[in-house]
Chains A and B, each alone.
Chain A
Amino acid sequence: MRHVNAWLFLLPAMALIVAFTHVPAVNTFINSFFLDGRGGMPAEFVGLENFRYLLEDEVFLKVLRNNLLFASGTIPLSISLAMVMALLVNAKLPGQAWLRLSYFVPTVLPMIAVANIWLFFFTPEYGLLEQVRSFLGFSGVNWLGSESTALICIIAVAVWKDAGFFMIFYLAALQQVPPSLGEAAMLEGASRFCYYRRIVFPLLMPTTLFVLVNATINAFRMVDHLFVLTQGGPNNASSLLLYYIYEVSFKYWDTGYGATLTLVLLGFLGLASIIQFGVIEKRVHYR
């Protein structure tokens, strides 16, 4: 009887997880062996053809490389920036509320609006960056139109947007640090640096793990800015995995290959969560 009750309590959540997570995942796996049938024709079983193509698809390899660059750019930058901002707004400063607000604003703005603002910044010839540049007398850069700079621009926007969000978590964590620890450290004559290094940062580690998980997920699910800023161009220089999946699956309706690409994405996220919860989790708690 007790089991029945327990299962009944689990049922709503189970139903949702199965319907929106497990079934689609299994479907994706099955679909990856098929070539999409055109115009209502049944899909054609092609075995490993989609996977073979994956390995010779230059665009995919480029997109994958972009995404890894994007992750290794945004994750450390946004986390460290968030921590610095949190430390700043945690200190007793005049106008502290305004400062907190202004750091947090990028997070509450709609993504598409944000991207449109940045689009104006990056516009060649008369965008804001160009105005600054011509004032300082450097030579012109076509920020979003050059293969060498497009991805960097996307990273900058993502960091700008994420850092404010992560700051909130750090701020909450900082305010949980008992003041008595700081007082004790002061009595012991520890330097400020030592206090942060030996007491504050270790106490922040669980938050850092949480933020790290979020940052990793964000790095792989970034797609909306691309629609506005670059459409993945020029020549796929700023295209990321999820955007490429969208293109393949919904622009070209190659759903089989789209499913294959989705498996790669799932694989990456799975790997990331194994590392984070299996390895890092064990080391973050202050003992």
Chain B
Amino acid sequence: MFGLAKAIKCFLLSLLAICCLSGAAFAKQTELVFYFPVSVGGPITKIIEGMTTEFMKQHPDIKVTPVYAGIYRDTLTKALTALRGGEPPHVAVLLSTDMFTLIDENAVIPYDDILSPAEMSFTKNFFPGFMSNSQTGGKTWGIPFQRSTIVMYWNKEAFKAAGLDPNTPPKTWAELVSFGKKLTKKDASGQVTQWGVAIPSTGYAYWLFQALAIQNGAELMNQEGTKVFFDQPKAVEALQFLVDLAFKHEVSPKGTIDWATTPRDFFERRTAIMWTTTGNLTNVRTNAKFDFGVGMLPANARPGSPTGGGNFYIFKKTTPEQRKAAVTFVQWMTTADRAAQWGIDTGYVAVRPDAWQTKQMKAYVKGFPYAAVARDQLEYGVAELSTHDNQRVTKALDDAIQAAVNGSKKPADALKDAQKEAERILRRYNK
């Protein structure tokens, strides 16, 4: 019996010790759990962890635990699941387009509620194009971090081999098709060894489709995120074009094209042109064993690309100290110097104009002018598709796009179905 009593005493004492220790830690350190996604190739996790370590060195009173949580969609799922379980992250990078969802879920707190109006002026430092997806109802809900647009990458060697000028990318849809035909190569048995162009239709199908829709002069949703216009004729034309690339012009593989493996197809010379996020720029630069070019997307009625990527959100279930600490962290992560370095390390668009004026960014752009393409394209940028219940509405659109590129539905019918589904989902927000 004595042994048991001793063991219990020992246990209680150590419990007490742990409580005291952690209490002491709480007294001087604010703890932040930080969720982030990775959606492009390259050592993003390492870069983020390096940045948080550096931040903690400079702010010993704040402890940040970075948690890699999958692609954007998974990160949102995890954050909301954790929220329902009562333990959400304190700060997270999530899609700018998830803003309405996060507000509807009562998950996040606007920066205006933490900072004084004078302190809020820091939001003016960012590109207005990126802020349009970060503010609604006069409040700022997100701070731009890993923002992007879609850009076009092309293989200069393939262009040369096809008799095209390696420095002139296709500027219009018609050129995209005619270049694509020259770039599509077949072997003796008639099999395609190199495709002209790859526009991914999994992962972020709605995003790439939105680029086509914008170029055709179509807006897919209203500002309030309560209405969508998927089945308008201009959108149908845009989808028809995407389908035609594979079935009519035969310059692109049939069936869906995978988001995650498209850069790899490009490296392996399976496709001469690809559309993907500028966030893949450093990945391509590191892995492409040939000379490549980066350009704005080709135009039809107009040039254009939706913006994209992630913002910093601060969760509501936080103490005032944690909120302050979170803002400090977010502001630290997005200073001009750091935004520039992050842009150089990954290829994402440095989110503020003054980042482009820093010494390191100027030197980088001088040596690698393609780094500035996405920034220049911002001039034609349009807010990314964002609605209430965004994941579900974009899924309806993704399904329609996949049905169309698989040839199982006509573009007009597919988009009509998506429109019907989206209207049903948005019904409760239109009351």
Residues of A within 8 A of B (CB): 38-40, 58-59, 123-126, 134, 137, 139-140, 142, 144-147, 231, 233-237, 247, 250-254
Nearest A residue to B429 via CB reads A38
> Which residues in window 219-264 of B have CB below 8 A to A?
253-258, 261
Q: A234 and B402 in contact (CB under 8 A), knowing A125-B270, A145-B255, A147-B408?
A: yes
**Complex contacts, B258 vs chain A, CB 8 Å:** 124, 144-145
Sorted from nearest, which 3 A-B pairs have the closest CB atoms? A39-B106, A142-B255, A234-B402
Residues in A neighbouring B80, C-beta threshold 8 A? 250, 253
Number of inter-chain CB pairs below 8 Å: 85
Q: Can you list 12 residue pairs at the A/B interface with Cβ under 8 Å? A: A126-B268, A137-B189, A140-B191, A142-B254, A142-B255, A145-B258, A234-B202, A234-B402, A234-B406, A235-B408, A250-B77, A251-B73
Query: Contacts A145-B255, A147-B406 hold; do A140 and B389 have CB atoms under 8 A apart?
Result: no
CB pair B256–A134 under 8 Å, yes or no, is no
Q: Which residues of A contact B406 (CB under 8 A)?
A: 145-147, 234-235, 237
Evaluate contact between A123 and B261: CB separation under 8 angstroms: yes
Of chain B, the residue at the smallest CB distance from A234 is: B402
Contacts of A253 in B (CB 8 A): 80, 84, 105
CA distance A236 to B189 in the complex (A): 34
Does residue B48 face the partner (Cβ distance < 8 Å to A)?
Answer: no
Please determine whether B191 and A134 come into contact, CB atoms closer than 8 angstroms: yes
Task: Pick from A137, A140, A236, A253 the residue with the most CB of B within 10 Å.
Answer: A253
Secondary structure call for the A interface = loop
Query: Measured between alpha carbons, how far is A236 from B395 in the docked complex, in Å?
Result: 10
Minimum CB–CB distance from A169 to chain B (whole Å) comes to 36
* Chain B positions within 8 Å of A126 at CB level: 268, 270
CB distance from A154 to the nearest CB of B (A): 15
Interface string of B392-431 (1 = CB under 8 A from A): 1001001110110110110000000100000000000000
Residue B81 CB within 8 A of the other chain = yes
CB <8 Å contact, A142 and B189: no
- In the assembled complex, the Cα of A39 lies from the Cα of B192 at a distance in Å of 51
Q: Are B265 and A125 in contact (CB under 8 A)?
A: yes
In the complex, what's the smallest C-beta–C-beta distance from A216 to chain B, in angstroms? Answer: 29
B391 interface hit (Cβ, 8 Å):
yes
How far is the CB of A39 from the nearest CB of chain B, in Å?
A: 3
Chain B: which residue is nearest A53 at the CB level? B424
Nearest chain A CB to B404's CB is how many angstroms away?
A: 9
| Inter-chain contact A252/B417, CB cutoff 8 Å | no
Q: Is B104 an interface residue (CB 8 A)?
A: yes
Nearest chain-A residue to B420 (Cβ)?
A58
CA distance A123 to B406 in the complex (A): 17
A126 and B195 CA atoms in complex are apart in Å by: 13
- From residue 187 to 233 of chain B, which have CB atoms closer than 8 A to chain A? 189, 191-192, 201-202
Contact between chains at A140 and B106 (CB < 8 Å) = no
A235→B268 contact, CB < 8 A? no
A145 touches B202 (CB 8 A): yes
> B417 contacts which chain A residues (CB < 8 A)?
58
Q: A237 to B189, alpha carbons, bound, how many Å? A: 31
